[in-house]
Amino acid sequence: MRIHPTEPFFCFAPQEAGDMEIAPGTKYVSRYRFIVHDGEPDKEFIESVWNDYANPSKVTVTAE
């Protein structure tokens, strides 16, 4: 992610990690989660939020 130093936007550029190709007929899906906070970051909280995002709870709903 790049954060612009004087303008309020950022740009996520996956190409910075290396070559990227979206082949014809395939989907490209990106998912993001933003955490906004004031003050010093809390490592345990940030890790728990990341874990919840990366490994979401699985829920099964059944009709009775």
pLDDT tops 80 at residue 13: no
* CB-based contact 15:28 (threshold 8 Å): no
Across the strands, what pairs with 3?
10
User: What confidence tens digit (pLDDT) does each residue in 24-60 have?
Assistant: 999 988 888 888 877 888 899 999 999 999 998 999 9
Q: What pLDDT, on the 0 to 100 scale, is given for residue 52?
A: 92
10, with CB counted inside 10 A (0-12, 13-18, 19+), is: exposed
Amino acid at 49: V
User: Which element (helix H / strand E) includes 54?
Assistant: helix 43-54
Backbone torsions φ then ψ of 3, nearest 5 degrees: -110, 125
Q: What pLDDT, on the 0 to 100 scale, is given for residue 43?
A: 93
Predicted confidence band of residue 4 (pLDDT cuts 50, 70, 90): low
Instruction: For the chain, give every domain's residue range.
Output: 28-54
Q: What pLDDT, on the 0 to 100 scale, is given for residue 17?
A: 66
